[in-house]
Amino acid sequence: AQSVTQLGSHVSVSEGALVLLRCNYSSSVPPYLFWYVQYPNQGLQLLLKYTSAATLVKGINGFEAEFKKSETSFHLTKPSAHMSDAAEYFCAVSDRGSQGNLIFGKGTKLSVKP
Amino acid sequence: GAGVSQSPSNKVTEKGKDVELRCDPISGHTALYWYRQRLGQGLEFLIYFQGNSAPDKSGLPSDRFSAERTGESVSTLTIQRTQQEDSAVYLCASSYRVQTEAFFGQGTRLTVV
């Protein structure tokens, strides 16, 4: 069964600094990959997804992620953090086969310091 | 409705009672997922439906948990003989089909006292 690992349960950056949130998956076949964001006291919403087209995926709010098969990674980045980016970020994976299970990582809480 | 709707939004129950949580997915979405999120924790997969069938029930924590879906629409998650460790937010999500974007409801916050 596929799984996803997010390194770092809590990441803190200064406003304007680079944001890098790590996600690694385990699957013999490259799966579908997603990043979701959960703002305080709100539901989850999709940031971006990788389905097999371009390896560099652009999402909402200036975020992007790069799929690297050799590293089984799908790290999320944003060049310049904004205070409003403070939230919890979840990486998720879905198998390409008939099984459509959507499995989430444990999440990374992003704090942005002024 | 326009989004995924879950009811109730909050539920306080006594230990040992049964509870039923409801999820109304977006119309036309064939895939439906249930997750549990304990305070400060990530999303724990419980079960997912493809149509009315549940190909993967592996995440259900015990036989006290069950779920069903009818008419390729509404789903109910039932927890029997609730325990304090069942306290969490239960999230439902639906997607047009598996492997496409999942849309989440606001969740049901369950507190077992």
Name the minimum distance, in Å, from the CA of B80 to any CA of chain A: 25
- Identify all chain B residues contacting A1, using CB atoms and an 8 Å cutoff: 58
- Identify all chain A residues contacting B106, using CB atoms and an 8 Å cutoff: 43
**CB-defined contacts A:B, below 8 A:** 60
- Cα-only R_g, chain A: 14
Between CA A52 and CA A18 the distance in angstroms is 26
Residue A113: pLDDT band (50, 70, 90) is very high
Between CA A52 and CA A112 the distance in angstroms is 32
Residue matched to tokens 């803190």: A12
Which residues 46-105 on chain B approach chain A with CB closer than 8 angstroms? 48, 50, 55-56, 58, 91, 93, 95, 97-99, 101-105
Name the minimum distance, in Å, from the CA of B50 to any CA of chain A: 8
Question: A48-57 burial, b if ≥16 CB within 10 A, otherwise e?
Answer: bbbbeeeeeb
A3 touching B (Cβ < 8 Å): no
The half-sphere exposure of B2 on its side-chain side, counting CA atoms within 13 A, is: 0
Of B55, B56, B99, the CB nearest to A32: B99
Residues in Cβ contact with B87 at an 8 Å cutoff, skipping those fewer than 6 apart: B38, B110, B111, B112
Between CA B43 and CA A89 the distance in angstroms is 11
- Bridge partners, residue A104, by sequence: A92
Q: Which two tokens stand for residue A15?
A: 């406003």
Predicted local distance difference test score (pLDDT) of residue B56: 81
B73-97: pLDDT as tens digits: 999 999 999 999 999 999 999 999 8
B7-66: pLDDT as tens digits: 999 999 999 999 999 999 999 999 999 999 998 788 999 999 999 999 888 899 999 999
DSSP letter assigned to residue B43: P
For residues A105 and A92, the answer to whether their CB atoms sit within 8 Å is: yes
Question: B107–A94: do the CB atoms touch at under 8 Å?
Answer: no
Question: B98–A94: do the CB atoms touch at under 8 Å?
Answer: yes
Residues in Cβ contact with A17 at an 8 Å cutoff, skipping those fewer than 6 apart: A80, A81
Question: A107–B42: do the CB atoms touch at under 8 Å?
Answer: yes
Residue A98 has pLDDT above 70, yes or no: no
A43-92: pLDDT as tens digits: 899 999 998 778 899 999 999 999 999 999 999 999 999 999 999 999 99
Mean pLDDT of the region A26-49 = 88
Find, in chain A, the residue whose alpha carbon is nearest to that of B55. A99
Between CA A48 and CA A102 the distance in angstroms is 15
For residues A79 and A17, the answer to whether their CB atoms sit within 8 Å is: no
Of B41, B48, B105, the CB nearest to A102: B48
DSSP letter assigned to residue A43: -
**E strands, A31-114, where?**
32-38, 44-50, 56-58, 64-68, 73-78, 87-94, 102-104, 108-113
Predicted local distance difference test score (pLDDT) of residue A101: 79
Of A99, A101, A105, the CB nearest to B42: A105
DSSP letter assigned to residue A9: S
Dihedral angle sign, alpha carbons of residues A11, A34, A99, B43: positive
